[in-house]
Amino acid sequence: MKKSEVLEIVNRIKYLPNSPIVNREILDEMVETFFLLLEDLPADMVKAATVQYLSEGNPFFPSNPGVLRDKAMELQMLAMGIPSPAEAWGMVMAGLKPAHHVFCETGAALRDACISGENYGATLAASKRHDKECAVCGKGISEDVNDYGGFRDEYAHPAVAETVRLLGGRDVILTDNPVSDRKQFIDAYREVVARECMKMGMTPVVAKFVEDNRPLLLDDKKAAFETGERALLDKWSVKK
């Protein structure tokens, strides 16, 4: 983003209430501050974020340009089709797919029961046992970690798949308590999305610092747990 484009953005919002811009000198200082935090973003993205900010009825001047950066990241996440938590949970519930399509009558019934989600754990275990013993339903079973003995879990978005992986897989997530299962998944999913949003929103300076210091931070943390030296863990926490 060019400084002239940042100037255009600041001029668009400088008349909002609480604006500190009362003369050319302050305007120039504000442009420098906004440019520092927005220069790596495409101009059209920041312009769209500014219009969105204004359209939401925000009455005050965003003296912190991070507000516009956050708004730009939100728009980017929407453009990427990040599912809402409810949509993500729906993908989990619909994510169990047959790995092949040749079943005996018993195998087909077990698969239908699994997909319905009723008594999921016990039904899936019964289906796995059946697949191992059945010459028809057992065809195509592989060692793939996502292959549940005739099933595969497939999700419509990588963020959903990553959350399932972090929680230990479908067998861990889905129990006989669907209300608790849903809450646990949605809480974890929100953390995954927030982490990715934070990574996307890092300025180049911050991203470089994280990358340059990653080995040191991880080594210190590992040493703290292995040796029990609390000072190292404190040191790591401060560095974060």
- pLDDT at 186 > cutoff 50: yes
Q: Which residue has the higher pLDDT, 93 or 207?
A: 93
Distances 208 to 61, 205, 225 between C-alpha atoms, Å: 30, 5, 26
pLDDT tens digits, 33-75: 999 889 888 899 999 999 999 988 767 898 788 889 888 888 8
Predicted pLDDT at 59: 75
**How far apart (Å, rounded) are the C-alpha atoms in residues 173 and 181?**
6
Is pLDDT of 239 > 50? no
pLDDT of residue 10: 93
Range with the poorest average pLDDT among 10-14, 90-94, 96-100, 217-221:
217-221
- Beta strands 151-153; 96-98: pairing state: antiparallel
Taking the domains of the chain in order of start, what are their residue ranges? 3-79, 85-195, 202-239
| pLDDT (0 to 100) of residue 172 | 84
pLDDT at 142: 45
- Listed in order, strand segments (DSSP E) in the chain are 96-98, 151-153
**Is the model's pLDDT at 216 over the cut of 90?**
no
| pTM given for the model | 0.52
pLDDT in tens, 155-177: 888 888 889 988 888 888 888 88
With cut-offs at 50, 70 and 90, classify the pLDDT of residue 183.
very high
Identify the three-state secondary structure at position 40.
coil
Q: What is the pLDDT of residue 73?
A: 84
Q: How far apart are the first and last CA of the chain?
A: 29
Report the distance separating Cα 163 and Cα 216, nearest Å: 27
Query: Is the per-residue pLDDT at 131 higher than 80?
Result: no
d(CA 228, CA 233): 9
- 66-79 vs 43-55: helix axis angle to the nearest 10? 100
**pLDDT at residue number 145:** 37
At residue 98 the predicted structure's pLDDT band, cuts being 50, 70 and 90, is low
